[in-house]
Amino acid sequence: YFVEGQESVGIDVIGQFRDLDDADRFVWLRGFESMAARGTALPHFYDGPVWRAHRGQANATMHDSDNALLLEHLHFGVALPLRGDPHSAQPTESLVAIMVAHLASPITAADRDLGDTIRDELVTCGAELVASFVTHEAENNFPVLPLRDEHVLVWITRFPDDSDYDEHRDRLVRTPAWSDALARLAARSSSVPIQHLRLRPTERSRLR
């Protein structure tokens, strides 16, 4: 219900995932044409018939729905599905990895450059880039859904299977340029450690 229900009001449901390291976490990626479109689409869905009919059942499964970030893109990769691409109905062994770096202060031009540098190193070491993002500094125009008040750099990558991801991580730790990039990142980081998510796309996730 929720995939088609959201897409019918203009929300781009990019992907849904299970967390390989936390059986209780389910991750959504949703996209909007603009902040104005977000401010229109979300109320249409959450005040609409699909959510009204099923919100009780949905809310009974959630205890951490405020764990959400508002992001704008630095770079889109070829692995990012296009709006309107069909949803599959088949399982997949692919792995989607998300790396979130928490910064101590608002995003600067130098942080964006660092985001590009880290993106390039991830790709050089075998990752297929989905997209990289930074915090979108804007007021939440649908406050019914709270957002994390953080300054972050985010990289989303894709791998054919778990072994490809493991090989990628091994190459990274042996790469001096990666160590240098992490040192630059550490100089800007908050006290929150870098978050690494290993995600398995659901059968109907477009990003898979």
- Place 86 in a pLDDT band, splitting at 50, 70 and 90: confident
CA atoms of 46 and 54, how far apart (whole Å): 11
The DSSP secondary structure of 75-89, one letter per residue, reads: EE-TTSPPTTPPPP-
pLDDT tens digits for range 112-163: 999 999 999 999 999 999 999 999 999 999 999 999 999 999 999 999 999 9
Structure tokens given for 6: 């959201």
Per-residue pLDDT, 141? 97
The count of C-alpha atoms lying within 13 angstroms of the C-alpha of 55, restricted to the half-sphere facing its C-beta, is 9
The answer to whether residue 64 scores a pLDDT higher than 90 is no
Average pLDDT, the chain: 96
The model's pTM is 0.95
d(CA 195, CA 192): 8
Strand arrangement of the beta sheet that strand 71-76 belongs to: 22-31, 12-19, 195-201, 95-103, 151-159, 128-135, 71-76
- 3-class DSSP state of 145: coil
